[in-house]
Structure 1
Amino acid sequence: MTTWRLTLRLLRRDWRSGELSVLAAALVLTVAAITAVGFFTDRVEATLHRQGSELIAADLVLESARPLAETFAARAQAQGLRIAQTLEFRSVVQGERPQLVLMKAVDAAYPLRGQLRIRSALDASDQAVAAGPPVGEVWVESRLLRLLNIRIGESLNIGATRLRIGAILSAEPDQSRAFFNIAPRVLMNRADLDATGLIGPVSRVTQRLLIAGAVSEIDTYRAWASTQLNAALTLTAARDARPEFSAALERASRFLHLATLVTLLVAGAAIALASQRLVERQTDTVAVMRCLGAPRHLVLRVLIGRLVLFGLAASLLGCLVGWLGQAGLFAALDDWIGVELPPASPAPLLVGLATGLIALLGFAVPPLLQLAQVTPLRALRRDLGTPRLSAALTLSAAGAALALLILWQAHDLELGLKLLGGVLATLLALIGSVLLLVQFAGRLTGRVRGVWRLGLAALTRRSATAVLQISGFGIGILALLLLAVVRVDLLEAWRETVPEGAPNYFLTTIQPADVAPLQAFLSEAGIAAPLLYPMITARLTQIGDRAVEPSAYPNPRAARLASREFNLSYGAEPQADNRIVAGTWWSEGAEAAPQFSVERGIAETLGMQLGETLTFSVAGRTVTGPITSLREVRWDSFNVNFFVVASPALLQQEAASYITSLYLPAAREGVIAELNRRFPSVATLDVEALIDQVRAVIERGVMAVEYVFLFTLAAGLLVMYAGLQASLEQRRREHGILRTLGAGRRTLLTSLAVEFTAVGVLAGLLASVFAEATGWLLATQLFELDFQLNPALWLIGVLGSGVVIGLAGTVATYPLLIHPPLRELRGG
């Protein structure tokens, strides 16, 4: 009880005296940032995933070529989830002539996410509807009307029944799942399916169960359903629907977590600097306690107990600030966000509390352990100073806390390990560079005179403090410069991955005989001739000496890929938005050799290795070749891309159709209507809705990152303030001695300006170098974006930090010069 009474008494005294103000601000800011980011990212990512759900018309989709067991629907309904069921199959409809179509029968609940778009006439505008066609009616693609020469309102023979054409089907939320569909699409009500007589025991039907609901319930259901999968049953989540959307969503998530981790790192530096100042201010108090008989273990318990209680109080306040911050932001940006956000969960509060305590214990406990080493003699001899603690212990504790928090907050082991390695390397390089610069300043001191010598000598006289200050300033400036790099350069590069004018139409199933006429038609329409790529359907049968069997892959996505047909292509050069990451592309002289280039993601999913042989079945013929390169593909560019590309001689003898993509503004959509009339076999796919979804993810992701970096900005400013405060106690005594020896106020003030300006220039120089290097690594290695050097960054980093820190440091220490020297020497 004595320990706790003493702990509470000292905590109240320190709080009233303002001793804990800087440390409290650093900790509250840390927890507020983590909590606000937690609330914000949870809600924004849930919204982004909800937008992804619109691409599959649900949150989860179970798909099978066989009837789905009733247990899947029953389990979903028992959990309070909404369900819808669809069936897809190919059939033939009768008009002037038979026509192959892709039939899709949907129930009244479809779609669970997103909206259908229909038109009442060929030249009418789209309108959104919430449900599919009514009983007795079908909606068809405009291409089918032209192929059969029929109109809206007429009836269509579908199997044993006739159904009225009620509207033109413009778009379905899950249309992108059948990206390269050859046949026109027909949407019908599932209640009409039995009357058609088209579905029998041996019919090839794709059955889907669509599921939607709360995020937690969806996660629970997904975990259960994953254990029920087999080779014939696949489970697709929203973010796995399309690689274009998946890439944008992945980048958004990484940007948000990166912003969180940068804030955490910078605020941790502020905690470390504030703890160092607290140690200096508490040394006399501990010395008096030791004189009054307090044993060392009691002092240690009181210090740790006070720190824990203080940490809990500051962390709770930080949680409140974080919650208010995110709530205020969402209220202010409600119209901009434009979508309904899910409510915040309490999980970020617990994460914030835990993060605050871990950060405080890791960064603040080692400096406070110094106080336990204070001897009673310090109360009489102030020149004894504060006992030094092992640098290895201090760095180890801070490094362990930093590693734990980074790996925890990254939510991605690969991202966490990369950031941890980068952060540790940057900190070591930063500290090493500071040591070298301080030594250089020491050598320069002997070659200058007057206030210049006095100012530079201060760096070498307090070398440990100088290293701590410059490192702290460097981290703070680095955070501010990274804010500029990420905010301006990387986010703008991310926006440009889907620039204005990105292809919004895909033309597929172009027959060789139509290639030249189609190019001529597009030229006449004033559209630059797009590149046409050959496309050949093939089935992967063997990887190396392993037969490709879906049942051999426990990963549902891998099993689905193993069971599907691939669209192969061939070419002499890689596409402009493809990057070779392993191996080499075939050269012109070696094009006769059979070779494959594989997209890196699918190679990892299916276990393909560079140098292994792939075997495909193409129209009954076997083609074989080694993997000679792996590619990174920018799926969100919306250009035509392929998972597997072959050398020309391997596939150019095979029968192929062609595919291309092009951009058409809304005012020129009539070109597509004329194209469909003149080339009825060419399938056109409008991906404008998909592009809009990806752009929405990018824009909201950018907005989220900008918000998160406001905390980084505040943390960077706090680091610099804590750095200025870190050496005040030492300066107080030094200035008292110098003024006693005859140094004037103007001389000391000028030397302070020289010292802090030099500190600012050195910190700015290091921060600029590391900001450019970090920006390059983030762009090329983490986000797969283009990066360009920013000369303005160096001007702001070096000159700006020199001026700002020089002025701020001089102003902050000026009060030490206006008091009488005797007062400073007595510590008054």
Structure 2
Amino acid sequence: MTAVDAVAGSRDRARAAAGGRGAQLKLAARFAFREMRGGLSGFYIFLACITLGVASIAAVNSVSQMMTQGISDQGRAILGGDLRFALVQRTVSEPERAYLDSLGTVSTTIGMRSMARLPDGSDQSLVEVKAVGEGYPLYGTLVTQPAVPLPELLGERDGRFGAVVAQELLDRMGIAPGALLKLGSAELEIRGVVTAEPDLLSDGMNFAPRLLLSEAALATTGLMQPGSLIEHSYKVRLPAGADAEAISEQANERFPAAGWSVRTSDRAAPSLQRNIERFSQFLTLVGLTALIVGGVGVANAVNAYLDSKRQVIATFKSLGAGGTFVVTIYLIQIMTLALVGVALGLVLGALAPFATARFLESVIPVAASASIYPSALALAAVFGLLTSLAFALLPLGRTRDVPATALFREMSTAGNTGMRWSYLLGAIGLAAVIAALALAMADDRRIAGTFLVATAVAFLILRGVAWGIQLLARKMPRVGSTPLRLAIGNIHRPGALTASVVLSLGLGLTLLVTLAVIDNDLRREISTGLADRAPNFFFVDIQKDQIDPFRAEIDRLAPGSTLDAAPMLRGRITQLNGVDVAKIPIPAEGGWVLRGDRGVTYAPSLPENSNVTEGAWWPADYSGEPLVSFSAEEAGELGLKIGETLTVNVLGRDITAKIANFRTVEWESLSINFVMVFSPNTFAGAPHAWLATLSIPGASADTERAVLNGVTNAYPAVTTVRVKEALDAINGLIAQLALAIRAAAAVALVASVLVLSGALAAGNRNRIHDAVVLKTLGATRATLILAFTTEYMLLGLATAVFAIAAGALAAWFVVSSIMQLPYHFDPVVALTTLVVSLVLTVGFGLLGTWRVLGQKAAPVLRSL
């Protein structure tokens, strides 16, 4: 819209003023849309920033909902039934089994880890053993190759039972279907390969290949010994219309001491669902950071646009338009464009499930049925609109007070008008609403709050850094070099790009450094730190009468090694201070202790590498009421106190013990550690096995192989876990997570680049004037290029230094305080950040400046 258009509409404005607020709003909308007919010049960066941020949030939450919805829709197949009753180290009693049979059709499975080996003892592998009963599976389909009925694959033939295994086991041991494999004392024939297991996810995380056999076959292996770490699952198909949740509560009321874990089909894989939700919330916060970075671009674009409209605004003021009317016109334009950007982002976010479904199915065995997820899209839209409005309010607030005299002046007035407090407070209020919304959707509000506070603090500090750079440039003594003098002057002159460049690059690079350092430290700790501190082997299911011969065998196989052993049972905490844990709100931190079964032990004396932090240890000959020592950190997170009681269900018996002391536990050492250590009299006479760790100083691969072969052949019922293989599996999982984290960080960096390019483009108007005047006074193009390059390098260097410092500090907090791992800063990260910063600032700066330097002098001089 031109000034003439504004004059032509003055009579309409007068009529609207007489018609009330509704008429004024209608007129403001007419002016706004009429002015938008001229195109979107200057707003493409605006649209790109909003689109990118909204798309990232919409995509993350849509994909998350697709996965959780897939788990929910396939709940019966994933769980293996409508209800699943799980017991550790014991089978159901006769009354319990009769009750389960009365509910509907029951299918049983037995799960454990063991060692499978070749008949000649030359090779072996850890396997996830699953023994199935008749009727398996109740829901879903077990897919095998060859596709023959499961009873034929697993039945007894010529004196041998059959088994089907994962292809990974065949590859690891170099064998094929038809080969023989020993499990415990039994010899099995491999008759097929498992290609799809319907209830795989409900069995938890698998660290080894699957070996599937019949319950009758498992009974011949000799692995099912008293105290062995075995999970018995009873899966029930209920009659149509039965209420699984009500039956679950009824079962616990009828058998309060059963100690079973009861799960319904709507919670088929709760651990996986929690992890998906937490990871999606983290990526949403990263996406929100990208949106906030884009908000800087919104503010730049709006500021530059309103600056270019100052004559129109001044004309409105000259004709009697009030500040509110003018602000309404441009607010309508800005929010209309924001709606366009949000819509584009929602389209991209809505397509994300369709683009990722096939890939995710290969990572998580759930049939992902892509769809449109309105709640995920609505959340992204709200974030996008709130961010657009929050960052647009500040330049709009200055527009309200543009004086009418600006009509007769060419210089910019956007930076010379004051800021009304109402607009500033409105922007702060919107920022608070965005933060509250992010906290409301977070599972762990402490981490989400820390993330948001860190982002806000970084934003404020970056404003301070920009101000400090300008102040330092202003105080610099006069230098002899013309390009350097021009560069320093450009940094602190009115309308300088310093604040925009520092803000746009600073947040993106800070996030990039933070995530890179965390990823690097996590990988370093797992691949080197944990590997150096951790034992070489874990041994599980050592029987009580085997522990002394086992020690002797280890001394023979690995002289000079250290074997630590402890008795182990499995128990579930059922009550705290007499209150059922199902009725206690589970905190985000420490809540894992109350979910599922935990390993428990007993000891007459304080375990090594532990210190009592509160209370006292019991005497070696203690024989009073049961006492328990609890991990100090988890006790604090659960709010436990010395003298309080907890009840654990072990082997179907409820045992109540008083908390005698709290102690430190070094989980990161991977040595034998337990949340709960009981006084020895607590489990007197209870059947149990032993857990052991073996540390071999300077062990070579050949030494470890010899120990593995020797133990497996001498004690086939003992499960041997090589720590290196477990760490490799964890590293593989982290690599998959890191890929998603890097992609999220890349989104934030792309947003930074967009904002940077927009800020430089917005500043080109002033640069044209500067370049033309300087060339008229005798400056060469080479001098100007060198001056601009120096300016951009100084800004990029200052921003990189801040990003490195802030990112390293944020990573230190996450690694040391949240992950509780050793912190190590890699200088390669710092160097990479520095290079990225300089390449972006200098590269984009010169791309825009090159066009500026090519402007003809005469047209520009005529407008001065």
TM-score normalised by the chain length of structure 2 = 0.68
Shift in alpha-carbon separation, 1:423–1:538, aligned structure 2, 3 A: same
1:406 maps to which of 426, 434, 438 = 438
2:37 maps to which of 4, 9, 12 = 12
1:267 equivalent in alignment to 2:294:
yes
Partner residue, 1:444 = 476
Q: Which segments of 5 or more consecutive residues in structure 2 lack a partner in the other structure? A: 1-25, 111-129, 144-149, 168-180, 208-212, 218-230
1:127 equivalent in alignment to 2:157:
no
Partner residue, 1:341 = 368
How big is the shift at 1:706? Answer: 3.7
1:361 equivalent in alignment to 2:389:
yes
How big is the shift at 1:303? Answer: 1.7
- Tell which deviates more after alignment, 257-266 or 113-122: 113-122
RMSD over aligned Cα atoms: 6.0
Partner residue, 2:54 = 31
Do 1:266 and 1:719's aligned partners in 2 also have CA atoms closer than 8 Å?
yes
How big is the shift at 1:766? Answer: 0.7
Within a 5 Å distance, the mapping from 1:575-724 to structure 2 comes to 583=613, 596-598=629-631, 600-601=633-634, 604-605=637-638, 607-609=639-641, 611-612=642-643, 626-629=660-663, 631=665, 633=667, 640-645=672-677, 657-660=689-692, 679=715, 698-724=734-760
Shift in alpha-carbon separation, 1:152–1:431, aligned structure 2, 3 A: closer
Shift in alpha-carbon separation, 1:673–1:59, aligned structure 2, 3 A: farther
Do 2:515 and 2:741's aligned partners in 1 also have CA atoms closer than 8 Å?
no
User: What whole-Å deviation, never above 9, does each CA across 1:673-693 have from its counterpart, x for those lacking one?
Assistant: 986785588577999999999
Partner residue, 2:804 = 768
Q: Which segments of 5 or more consecutive residues in structure 1 lack a partner in the other structure? A: 75-82, 90-101, 130-141, 154-165, 180-184, 190-204
- Tell which deviates more after alignment, 311-320 or 618-627: 618-627
Within a 5 Å distance, the mapping from 1:717-736 to structure 2 comes to 717-736=753-772
Name the CA distance, whole Å, in 2 between partners of 1:500 and 1:340.
Answer: 40
User: What whole-Å deviation, never above 9, does each CA across 1:195-216 have from its counterpart, x for those lacking one?
Assistant: xxxxxxxxxx99855689xxxx
How big is the shift at 1:509? Answer: 4.5
How big is the shift at 1:360? Answer: 0.9
Name the CA distance, whole Å, in 2 between partners of 1:318 and 1:62.
Answer: 45
Match of 1:660, SS state, is: strand
Do 2:577 and 2:644's aligned partners in 1 also have CA atoms closer than 8 Å?
no
Do 2:772 and 2:857's aligned partners in 1 also have CA atoms closer than 8 Å?
yes
Match of 1:383, SS state, is: coil
User: What whole-Å deviation, never above 9, does each CA across 1:764-792 have from its counterpart, x for those lacking one?
Assistant: 11111112222222333344554421102
Name the CA distance, whole Å, in 2 between partners of 1:382 and 1:613.
Answer: 77
Partner residue, 2:830 = 794
1:416 maps to which of 428, 448, 459 = 448
1:805 maps to which of 815, 823, 841 = 841
Shift in alpha-carbon separation, 1:46–1:502, aligned structure 2, 3 A: farther
Partner residue, 2:341 = 314
Name the CA distance, whole Å, in 1 between partners of 2:83 and 2:732.
Answer: 21
Do 2:314 and 2:407's aligned partners in 1 also have CA atoms closer than 8 Å?
yes
Q: Quote the sequence identity (%).
A: 19
Name the CA distance, whole Å, in 2 between partners of 1:337 and 1:741.
Answer: 67
Name the CA distance, whole Å, in 2 between partners of 1:740 and 1:696.
Answer: 62
Do 2:184 and 2:716's aligned partners in 1 also have CA atoms closer than 8 Å?
no
Name the CA distance, whole Å, in 1 between partners of 2:70 and 2:693.
Answer: 29
Do 2:600 and 2:677's aligned partners in 1 also have CA atoms closer than 8 Å?
no
Shift in alpha-carbon separation, 1:88–1:432, aligned structure 2, 3 A: same
Shift in alpha-carbon separation, 1:502–1:261, aligned structure 2, 3 A: farther
Name the CA distance, whole Å, in 2 between partners of 1:336 and 1:177.
Answer: 13
Within a 5 Å distance, the mapping from 1:341-490 to structure 2 comes to 341-347=368-374, 348-383=376-411, 385-386=413-414, 387-390=417-420, 392-393=424-425, 396-397=428-429, 399-400=431-432, 402-404=434-436, 406-407=438-439, 410-446=442-478, 449-462=481-494, 465-482=497-514, 484-485=516-517, 490=522
Partner residue, 2:578 = 548
Shift in alpha-carbon separation, 1:713–1:492, aligned structure 2, 3 A: farther
Name the CA distance, whole Å, in 2 between partners of 1:479 and 1:436.
Answer: 22
Name the CA distance, whole Å, in 2 between partners of 1:497 and 1:59.
Answer: 44
Partner residue, 1:2 = 27
User: What whole-Å deviation, never above 9, does each CA across 1:635-655 have from its counterpart, x for those lacking one?
Assistant: xx9865422247999999999
How big is the shift at 1:423? Answer: 1.5
User: What whole-Å deviation, never above 9, does each CA across 1:118-158 have from its counterpart, x for those lacking one?
Assistant: 697889774369xxxxxxxxxxxx99984xxx8889xxxxx
- Tell which deviates more after alignment, 747-756 or 558-567: 558-567
How big is the shift at 1:540? Answer: 9.8
Aligned AA for 1:187?
E
Shift in alpha-carbon separation, 1:659–1:11, aligned structure 2, 3 A: same
How big is the shift at 1:707? Answer: 3.5
Shift in alpha-carbon separation, 1:733–1:487, aligned structure 2, 3 A: farther
Shift in alpha-carbon separation, 1:245–1:662, aligned structure 2, 3 A: farther
Do 1:724 and 1:812's aligned partners in 2 also have CA atoms closer than 8 Å?
yes
Do 2:578 and 2:646's aligned partners in 1 also have CA atoms closer than 8 Å?
no
- Tell which deviates more after alignment, 739-748 or 378-387: 739-748
User: What whole-Å deviation, never above 9, does each CA across 1:739-776 have from its counterpart, x for those lacking one?
Assistant: 55555544333322222111111111111111222222
Do 2:538 and 2:722's aligned partners in 1 also have CA atoms closer than 8 Å?
yes
Shift in alpha-carbon separation, 1:259–1:508, aligned structure 2, 3 A: same
Do 2:314 and 2:406's aligned partners in 1 also have CA atoms closer than 8 Å?
yes
Name the CA distance, whole Å, in 2 between partners of 1:316 and 1:304.
Answer: 18
1:300 equivalent in alignment to 2:338:
no
Aligned AA for 2:661?
I
Match of 1:373, SS state, is: coil
Shift in alpha-carbon separation, 1:803–1:127, aligned structure 2, 3 A: closer
Do 1:256 and 1:705's aligned partners in 2 also have CA atoms closer than 8 Å?
yes
- Tell which deviates more after alignment, 503-512 or 701-710: 503-512
Within a 5 Å distance, the mapping from 1:57-456 to structure 2 comes to 57=80, 61=84, 85-86=106-107, 107-110=135-138, 126-127=164-165, 146=185, 187=215, 208-209=234-235, 232=256, 235-236=262-263, 252-253=279-280, 256-324=283-351, 327-329=354-356, 340-347=367-374, 348-383=376-411, 385-386=413-414, 387-390=417-420, 392-393=424-425, 396-397=428-429, 399-400=431-432, 402-404=434-436, 406-407=438-439, 410-446=442-478, 449-456=481-488
TM-score normalised by the chain length of structure 1 = 0.71
Name the CA distance, whole Å, in 2 between partners of 1:492 and 1:323.
Answer: 37
Aligned AA for 1:812?
G
Do 2:49 and 2:297's aligned partners in 1 also have CA atoms closer than 8 Å?
yes
Partner residue, 2:120 = none
1:514 maps to which of 529, 546, 553 = 546
The count of aligned residue pairs is: 743
Shift in alpha-carbon separation, 1:677–1:274, aligned structure 2, 3 A: same
Shift in alpha-carbon separation, 1:741–1:364, aligned structure 2, 3 A: same
User: What whole-Å deviation, never above 9, does each CA across 1:498-521 have from its counterpart, x for those lacking one?
Assistant: 989999986445345522421343
- Tell which deviates more after alignment, 496-505 or 4-13: 496-505
Shift in alpha-carbon separation, 1:670–1:515, aligned structure 2, 3 A: same
Name the CA distance, whole Å, in 2 between partners of 1:730 and 1:590.
Answer: 82
Name the CA distance, whole Å, in 2 between partners of 1:246 and 1:483.
Answer: 24
